[in-house]
Copies of this chain bind each other. A is one copy, B any other.
Amino acid sequence: MLTKKRYSVKDMVLWTRKETFFYLFYAGVITVLYKVFGFTFLNVPWTPVALIGTAVAFMIGFQNNSAYGRIWEARKIWGAIVNTSRTWGMKVQDMVSNAHAPNPVSESVIKEEKRILVYRHVAWMTALRYAMRTRKSWETQHTSQTNREWRDMIHIPEEVSSLDDNLKLYLSDEERHYVMSKPNKQTALLYLQSAHIRKLKDVGLIWEFAFLELENVLEELFTHQGKSERIKNFPYPRQYASLSLYLTRVFALLLPFGLIPEFADIGQSMTDSFFLIGKYFIWVAVPFCAVVSWAFHTMERMARVGENPFEGTSNDVPISTISRGIEIDMRQMLDEDESIIPSQFPEEKHVQM
């Protein structure tokens, strides 16, 4: 997530330079053919091209809307993870106790149980964010060079260190090996949580009705996890993505044929007063076509890069930061020493990951 006011003009120009050059080149070629070779038959009526343009604007508008919907939904889900995490922290804090225990245990034992429940929760969030940053077959933003340049400036925490290393901080070795052996690690962790609180219930450290409440918190976490996985595993329907792309391209291909003759006419009409300028006026069509194509192309590309909010781009939902923020929060509430609590991931190039 970009955290500054906006992308600078320079950012935009650099990011879109490839298509800009392509459109300049393409319009240039048509203009050369039209003007230099005199192929003035490279000419289609402008108004149907504009009609296609309107229809394309419509399609891309909806696509951008959907992409925004996906980003916003993803952010909502991770916001809900924040809320339920805090609830988990609070309920664990105040529902694990000797109040109903037939054989009360010492305060330090209770504290340790709470610590384990909180650490395992952090492990779950960690496993989930690693799962979100894996690559899907339709996530191909990194194949474009201008996207890769952005990627190279920022460091995705999930690519810097491995999940296994991270889990060492939160789980016993036994549990860690068990979890790493399962394909869906986050699910395994929630099952472990449930087994743990059940054990605590069986020895009376959790009241039976509090146990039901805590199970329902775990149910909620399953829901958030599943929603996050749904967005990861189900792309914006490829048929719509394909259609937008191809329609935009059809429009961009037809554009110079519709515009260059109009510039030629204008140039023609000014040859009396400005002979030289009139003669070369048609070349203004080149940047002009490029601008129009660029506008449509960039709208379409914006929709494309926004589709997958966990792909590892600078426009991602910042799940590493959110997850780490919660970890800090929960560990502070355990009254841990500040020195052992990790610090937040730094922003690079104003990008929060």
Contact = CB atoms under 8 A, between A and B. Distances in A.
A306 B238 CA distance: 11
Contacts of A213: 212, 215-216
A271 to B, nearest CB: 10
Interface stretch (A53-61, A118-126, A152-160): A53-61
A207 interface: yes
Interface in A243-271: 243, 245-247, 250, 254, 259, 262-263, 266, 270
B54 A240 contact: no
User: For the side of the interface on A, what is the size category?
Assistant: 35 or more
Contacts of A30: none
Contact of A76 (B7, B45, B230): B230
A238 B2 contact: yes
A53 B55 contact: yes
A11 to B, nearest CB: 8
A305 interface: yes
A-side binding surface: helix, strand, loop or mixed? helix
Given A48-B292, A208-B207, A62 B65 contact: yes
A91 B215 contact: yes
Interface in A75-102: 75-76, 79-80, 82-83, 86-87, 89-91, 93-95, 97, 99
A218 B91 CA distance: 10
A269 to B, nearest CB: 9
B4 A138 contact: yes
Given A93-B191, A190-B90, A295 B41 contact: no
B212 A210 contact: yes
A295 B195 contact: no
A184 B329 contact: yes
Most central of A61, A89, A242 by chain B CB within 10 Å: A242
Nearest to A65: B62
Nearest to A255: B48
Contact of A306 (B66, B68, B239, B278): B239
B187 A239 contact: no
Contact of A296 (B55, B184, B245): B55
A315 interface: yes
Given A45-B262, A51-B53, A295-B55, A234 B75 contact: yes
16 contacts: A1-B237, A2-B238, A4-B238, A50-B51, A51-B292, A54-B54, A59-B299, A66-B68, A68-B237, A83-B223, A83-B225, A89-B191, A90-B219, A94-B194, A182-B332, A243-B299
